[in-house]
Structure 1
């Protein structure tokens, strides 16, 4: 399927200055809250933890670049309240429109902010759960087949006698927040690797569809599966 055949609306960004907003994680954070949602400056400012004036500066910049549009205004005493939304539901930034020297560099500039945000959230969560600092640290475990798991845990694993069964069980207790972060190498056939890839996709879609649950809390979900070797 080509971009022209896609059922979604993809706005192509060839202008390097415009493309840079989506290619750079720092700039993109001010734009993401408006993607296909009507938002007010004051609400997004509170969400991002910046002042209203700082957010208004970013919004005006996004307007001038054509990435935002005013959807409606609400009259009130003084200045009217404006609502903004992205100019398109989807965007495509060609690699050639970015300033990145390589795909690796583009990956770093585009995703580094997300990575740091995840680490910051994990740090806060682990600090809250670490009741006994003596057991807060890295747990690395393997068997005759090699490394099984490498994880940072705030508490001692439930079963040191059988870490492959109980190492992460402490995170599954009902009174522990829903947090999961673990690096686990696995050896899979191509068939099983593709099956896992599709199951991760389906799992993401399943729970993403629950975003309108009443009383739902925001979470960050990041799923990564990549072959260690270059064989195909």
Structure 2
């Protein structure tokens, strides 16, 4: 373990370490112990969890070699152990964990969390009223999609401040390579702009864009321009 955890990325060589680091839930726990050594009780208050809950996870991170005791402070009763992460950053080579595996596991956990949050949204106003549903429609890109509406045609997005904060959906786009790169840059810039802001409520944002040419599953979807 390096003497100066923040000096350079810790080069991961263990599959058990990689398994924890490609899970953002574990990575966020570990992140609380970067920058400075902290006690479990102090870190638990920061995370909003119980000391007992966090201690079990600290022990697993410690066994994996990602966390270590940096200082022991005596006090009446049991001494306080201060833990610090092996490094502020970690390098996990794709030779140890394939990129597809990392992405699939990472997205699966967050998509489950996202769907749970969306499900709760539909139990609250305005969707707790009768008359809400979705309509199917064909988009200009040649794909089919769903749009949340009320029976009288009002869209949930038209409700203004009364509408819940959510964006959900996959969109098939037919772009030139230059347009795709432009969109990629705009999505990154949009995320970075809001990532710098600080607030009190957590919101989960997912951004997905990939070249699916040659992959099975979208053979039916052609742009209207191509049909002309």
The alpha carbon displacement at 1:146 in A equals 2.8
Task: Identify which of 135, 138, 142 aligns with 1:146.
Answer: 142
The alpha carbon displacement at 1:104 in A equals 3.8
Measured in 2, the distance between the counterparts of 1:197 and 1:96 equals 27
1:68 touches 1:84 (CA, 8 Å); kept in 2? Answer: yes
Deviation digits for residues 188-211 of structure 1 (CA, Å, limit 9, x no counterpart)? 222121111101101111111113
1:181 matched to 2:181? The reply is no
The alpha carbon displacement at 1:87 in A equals 2.3
Measured in 2, the distance between the counterparts of 1:146 and 1:168 equals 24
Root mean square deviation, CA, Å: 3.4
Measured in 2, the distance between the counterparts of 1:142 and 1:222 equals 24
Alignment partner, residue 107 of structure 1: 103
Alignment partner, residue 65 of structure 1: 64
Show structure 1 runs of 5+ residues with no match.
1-7, 161-165
Report how many residues are paired: 205
Alignment partner, residue 221 of structure 1: 205
Measured in 2, the distance between the counterparts of 1:85 and 1:139 equals 52
Deviation digits for residues 98-130 of structure 1 (CA, Å, limit 9, x no counterpart)? 4xxx65444333432122111112212222232
User: Structure 1 residues 55 and 143 mapped into 2: Cα distance closer, same or farther (>3 Å)?
Assistant: closer
TM-score calculated relative to the size of structure 1: 0.70
1:30 touches 1:55 (CA, 8 Å); kept in 2? Answer: no
2:40 touches 2:55 (CA, 8 Å); kept in 1? Answer: yes
Show structure 2 runs of 5+ residues with no match.
1-6, 216-228
Alignment partner, residue 156 of structure 1: 150
Alignment partner, residue 132 of structure 1: 129
2:141 touches 2:174 (CA, 8 Å); kept in 1? Answer: no
Measured in 2, the distance between the counterparts of 1:139 and 1:9 equals 52
Q: How does 1:1-232 map to 2 (within 5 A)?
A: 9-23=8-22, 25=23, 28-35=24-31, 36=34, 41-42=40-41, 52-70=51-69, 77-98=76-97, 103-129=99-125, 130-136=127-133, 138-142=134-138, 146-147=142-143, 149-151=145-147, 153=148, 156=150, 160=153, 167=155, 169-170=157-158, 173-211=160-198, 213=199, 216-230=200-214
Measured in 1, the distance between the counterparts of 2:42 and 2:112 equals 23
Measured in 2, the distance between the counterparts of 1:218 and 1:103 equals 27
1:74 touches 1:81 (CA, 8 Å); kept in 2? Answer: yes
